Amino acid sequence: MDSPRHVGKIRELVYELKVEAVMTRKLITLAPEAPMSGLRSILKSNRISGVPVVSGQTLVGLVSVEDFINWLAQGGRDCPVGERMSREVRTLSPGEPLVHAIGKLEQYGYGRLPVVDGERLVGLVTKGDIIEGLLQEMQVNSREEEELHRYRASHFFEDMIADRLTVNFQYQVRGKTIEQGGEVASDLKRSFKRLGLHPEVVRRAAIATYEAEMNVIIYAREGTVDVSVDPETIHIIVRDQGQGIPDIQQALQPGFSTAPDWVRELGFGAGMGLPNIRSCARSLDITSEPGQGTTLRISIPLEPERVCA
């Protein structure tokens, strides 16, 4: 992400974000009757430079380091805070945009501004609160933008100009143990997301590819996955030169499996792979020659409404 864009984003955010989104709600306050002599330790132990003074919940003033120093300079005779506090307090309301808060802090040179809802004190805003709030919002924003970036790509096909357009992805399945299987499906899924395909379509393509890839690893050791995407359809062709399937109709029955026990122990052999592929796709075509290998042709429409269940 480039910095000019960040600056632009911050500029937008200071108008969008409200004071209540960044203000501190846990407040240290004093009653007007509190002694001036106690102020120093309160400021020091909380590392703050001013304390709102409230009567009940109503903001009646603000007492700061400056007031304290003035009080000391004039003898430091103990008195209630209410006698030395500043009564002319600039405040913010919770619904104001951050840009107002920044402007007021700047204009008056204050370190903090109390936030009041009517007369009731509800929070306090410092420059630190504003920076923290903005940073947090930027983080959320960049996550959302990533999402947006993905879906912006869904215009890919609309943006390209050609009489006929297909995007091809080719993968090899080779030298993988069962535990290592799934990489092709994972890579394809990531690529489809980047291409901006509909999430449901991506999910179906990923599941179908995963099942086919695992079958290649388990029953044929190696093979290839060729995927082409045109503006209407995803075509996935999975080929292997393995043992082949003697009875395709039988293999397509839910629950039919020839997986040996050690494969079952690894979580496969439910006999649901091919049925799953079929339910993810609009069509599944299997050709197989015993001893020669197997080819699966899977097609999935790009419009999720047209995917049959």
Partner 1 sequence: MTISWVLEILDAELLTGQGAEGRELASACGSDLMSDVLCLRSAPNLLLTALTNPQCVRTAEMAEIAAICFVQGKKPPAETLELARRNGLPLLATGLSMFTACGRLFAAGLRCCGEGA
Ligand X SMILES: Nc1ncnc2c1ncn2[C@@H]1O[C@H](COP(=O)(O)OP(=O)(O)OP(=O)(O)O)[C@@H](O)[C@H]1O
Closest CA to 296 of 232, 261, 230, 244: 244
Interacting span for partner 1 (CB under 8 A) from 20-28, 121-129, 172-180, 228-236: 172-180
Please work out the total of residues on this chain that contact ligand X, with binding judged by CB under 6 A: 23
Give the one residue of 2, 179, 261, 305 binding partner 1; rule: CB under 8 A.
Answer: 179
Interacting span for ligand X (CB under 6 A) from 115-123, 171-179, 226-234, 241-249: 241-249
Contact yes or no for 17/134 (Cβ under 8 A): yes
The nearest distance, CB 301 to ligand X, in angstroms, is 22
Cα–Cα dist 132/125, whole Å = 11
Residue nearest to Mg ion (CB): 273
Cα–Cα dist 249/295, whole Å = 15
Contact yes or no for 25/122 (Cβ under 8 A): yes
Give the one residue of 54, 121, 206, 281 binding partner 1; rule: CB under 8 A.
Answer: 206
Q: Where are the beta strands (DSSP E) in the chain?
A: 50-55, 58-64, 112-117, 120-126, 167-173, 223-229, 233-240, 283-289, 293-301
Per the document, the length of the chain is 309
| Residue 242: contacted member of Mg ion, ligand X, partner 1, none (CB under 5 to 8 Å, by partner type) | ligand X
The nearest distance, CB 239 to Mg ion, in angstroms, is 16
Binding of residue 134 to partner 1 (CB under 8 A): no
Interacting span for ligand X (CB under 6 A) from 10-18, 67-75, 148-156, 214-222: 214-222
Pairs from 253-256 (Cβ < 8 Å, separation ≥ 24): none
Cα–Cα dist 59/74, whole Å = 26
Cα–Cα dist 102/24, whole Å = 15
Q: 239 to 268, contacts with partner 1 by CB under 8 A? A: 264, 266-268
Binding of residue 203 to partner 1 (CB under 8 A): yes
Binding site for partner 1 (CB under 8 A): 178-182, 185-186, 189, 203, 206-207, 210-211, 214, 264, 266-273, 275-276, 279, 309
Residues that bind ligand X (CB under 6 A): 211, 215-216, 219-220, 240, 242-245, 251, 256-259, 268-274, 294
